[in-house]
């Protein structure tokens, strides 16, 4: 894309394609959780039979979905700090992340714990009986793994808040003139052929450093991995040449991404990747998997950013509606999916039929709760991390 066009789009008040990518990412996470009943990886509730195809579908979304989310959050932080003070930014993070996390722990996490324990035959009885049990049996261990186990999908809010606070001094430092000059040099270097793919190197280093010691989901390996993408989000939108480099490498990123996907599918078909994914080691095969993992993730993110920039830099009513709904939708979706899926997986029917029924029904119910309840009442909006509705201005003009 011509550099002049890139500069004109960057100067817009809002980069709408980032909003479109957030909507796309949340829909993929939604599909990801619907598929989780049927893959080979353990979860709260599982279908009796599991699917190789669903496992591929699950993993391919898993590889890039959360990194993309955190990268977009880092980009949002970049723009927010342009007009917010440090105190204002922290206060906004508390309202948008910590308040929904607390509310979610009382309303959304206990039903998931109940269904998980019921499905795995660890408890009996009603949800009312289980509710106090949920809080009395929360893990007291001071670890990220325990935090993830206690909060289910709500860990995302805690991680994002932690990233926002930890990275704040760094982001303030990045505003200094001397640092900006250094970033400019990096951006110019990344504009060279192939250089943008070097961003995958720190990602790979994080896997090699921590993945073997902390293999479980949302533990320290993932914390560092996603934190890198959060920082990337800030840096990539600090200089125009990063955007130019990403656009220039769109086709290469797509080709590399497809090669990595085919490699993953080949490894899966040979029965290796799930074990390397769940039980990493420093074997040659496991390190190879981490290399493919890192390159796949970064390549697809480069391709998505470039495609979004070129095709999705516009707004419409659907985008305005769905952008506001992203956080409440994320908060609600997994609990509703598990409630529906708990009963559907017991049906005597095929996996595809179950998947389509769970995903369709849970989508309708999630959107209905958001639209009919959450978005219309200011008090509930605040509990789910949304801004209050603006009161219409009064017209005092004479008749």
Exposure pattern of 83-122 as b/e (b: 16+ CB <10 Å)? Answer: eeeeeebeeebeebbeebbebbbeebbbbbbbbbbbbeee
Running DSSP on this structure, what letter comes out for residue 96?
Answer: I
The percentage of residues in the chain with a pLDDT greater than 90, rounded to a whole number, is 77
Number of domains in the chain: 1
The answer, yes or no, to whether residue 11 has pLDDT greater than 70, is: no
Whole domain around residue 41: which residue ranges? 15-50+315-387
φ/ψ of residue 229, rounded to 5: -70, -35
Q: What is the pLDDT of residue 12?
A: 56
Per-residue pLDDT of 49-107, as tens digits, reads 999 889 889 888 989 999 999 999 999 999 999 988 999 999 999 999 999 999 999 99
The Cα–Cα gap between 164 and 234 comes to 11
| Biggest distance spanned by C-alpha atoms of the chain | 81
In this prediction, residue 7 has a pLDDT band, given cuts at 50, 70 and 90, of low
Running DSSP on this structure, what letter comes out for residue 197?
Answer: G
Q: What is the pLDDT of residue 274?
A: 62
Per-residue pLDDT of 155-202, as tens digits, reads 999 999 999 999 999 999 998 999 999 999 999 999 899 999 999 999
The Cα–Cα gap between 230 and 171 comes to 11
The Cα–Cα gap between 5 and 177 comes to 26
The percentage of residues in the chain with a pLDDT greater than 70, rounded to a whole number, is 93
The Cα–Cα gap between 54 and 307 comes to 26
Q: What is the pLDDT of residue 59?
A: 85
Using alpha carbons, select from 298, 291, 162, 309 the residue that is nearest to residue 248. Answer: 309
Per-residue pLDDT of 96-155, as tens digits, reads 999 999 999 999 999 999 999 999 999 989 999 999 999 998 887 778 888 988 999 999
User: How far does CA 160 lie from the centroid of its chain?
Assistant: 10
Mean pLDDT score, 191-217: 94
**Structural domain includes residue 219:** no
Q: Is the dihedral of CA 358, 359, 365, 369 positive or negative?
A: positive
Q: What is the pLDDT of residue 334?
A: 97
Helices (H), 36-126: 52-80, 86-93, 99-107, 109-119
Q: What is the pLDDT of residue 2?
A: 47
The Cα–Cα gap between 128 and 377 comes to 27
The answer, yes or no, to whether residue 10 has pLDDT greater than 90, is: no
The Cα–Cα gap between 254 and 302 comes to 8
In this prediction, residue 23 has a pLDDT band, given cuts at 50, 70 and 90, of very high
Helix 177-190 / helix 155-174 crossing angle, nearest 10 deg: 110
φ/ψ of residue 139, rounded to 5: -65, 135
Q: What is the pLDDT of residue 4?
A: 47
Q: Residue 51 contacts by C-beta under 8 Å, 6 or more apart in sequence?
A: 38, 39, 351
Q: How many other CB atoms are found less than 10 A from the CB of residue 131?
A: 14
**Structural domain includes residue 94:** no
**Structural domain includes residue 146:** no
The answer, yes or no, to whether residue 8 has pLDDT greater than 70, is: no
**Structural domain includes residue 346:** yes
The answer, yes or no, to whether residue 339 has pLDDT greater than 60, is: yes
Tell me the average pLDDT of the chain: 91
**Structural domain includes residue 44:** yes
Per-residue pLDDT of 284-325, as tens digits, reads 888 988 999 999 999 999 999 999 999 999 999 999 999 999
**Structural domain includes residue 383:** yes
**Structural domain includes residue 344:** yes
The answer, yes or no, to whether residue 391 has pLDDT greater than 70, is: no
**Structural domain includes residue 370:** yes
Residue of higher predicted confidence among 369 and 148: 369
The CA–CA distances, whole Å, from 216 to 56, 144, 228, 291 equal 19, 10, 18, 18
Using alpha carbons, select from 183, 155, 156, 189 the residue that is nearest to residue 170. Answer: 183
């Amino acid at each position: 894309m011509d550099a002049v066009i890139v500069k004109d789009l960057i100067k817009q008040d809002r980069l709408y394609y980032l909003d479109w990518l957030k909507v796309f990412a949340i829909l993929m996470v939604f599909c990801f959780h619907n598929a989780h009943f049927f893959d080979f990886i353990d979860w709260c509730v599982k279908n009796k039979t599991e699917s190789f195809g669903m496992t591929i579908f699950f993993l391919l979304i898993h590889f890039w979905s959360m990194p993309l989310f955190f990268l977009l959050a880092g980009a949002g932080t970049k723009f927010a700090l342009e007009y917010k003070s440090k105190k204002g930014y922290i206060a906004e993070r508390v309202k948008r992340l910590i308040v929904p996390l607390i509310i979610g722990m009382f309303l959304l996490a206990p039903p998931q714990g109940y269904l998980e324990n019921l499905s795995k035959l660890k408890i009996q009885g009603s949800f009312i009986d289980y509710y106090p049990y949920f809080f009395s049996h929360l893990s007291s261990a001071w670890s990220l793994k325990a935090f993830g186990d206690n909060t289910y999908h709500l860990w995302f809010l805690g991680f994002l808040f932690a990233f926002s606070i930890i990275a704040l001094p760094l982001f303030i430092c990045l505003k200094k003139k001397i640092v900006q000059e250094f970033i400019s040099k990096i951006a110019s270097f990344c504009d060279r052929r192939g250089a943008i793919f070097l961003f995958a190197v720190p990602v790979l280093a994080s896997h090699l450093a921590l993945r073997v010691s902390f293999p479980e989901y949302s533990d320290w390996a993932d914390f560092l991995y996603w934190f890198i993408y959060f920082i990337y989000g800030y840096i990539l939108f600090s200089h125009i040449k990063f955007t130019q480099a990403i656009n220039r490498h769109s086709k290469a990123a797509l080709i590399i991404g497809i090669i990595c996907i085919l490699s993953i599918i080949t490894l899966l078909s040979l029965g290796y990747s799930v074990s390397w994914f769940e039980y990493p080691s420093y074997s040659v095969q496991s390190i190879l998997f981490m290399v493919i993992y890192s390159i796949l993730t970064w390549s697809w993110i480069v391709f998505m950013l470039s495609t979004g920039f070129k095709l999705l830099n516009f707004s419409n009513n659907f985008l305005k509606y769905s952008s506001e709904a992203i956080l409440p939708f994320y908060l609600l979706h997994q609990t509703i999916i598990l409630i529906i899926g708990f009963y559907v997986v017991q049906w005597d029917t095929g996996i595809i039929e179950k998947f389509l029924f769970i995903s369709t029904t849970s989508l309708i119910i999630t959107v209905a709760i958001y639209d009919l309840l959450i978005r219309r009442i200011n008090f509930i909006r605040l509990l789910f991390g949304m801004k209050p509705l603006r009161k219409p201005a009064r017209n005092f003009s004479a008749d």
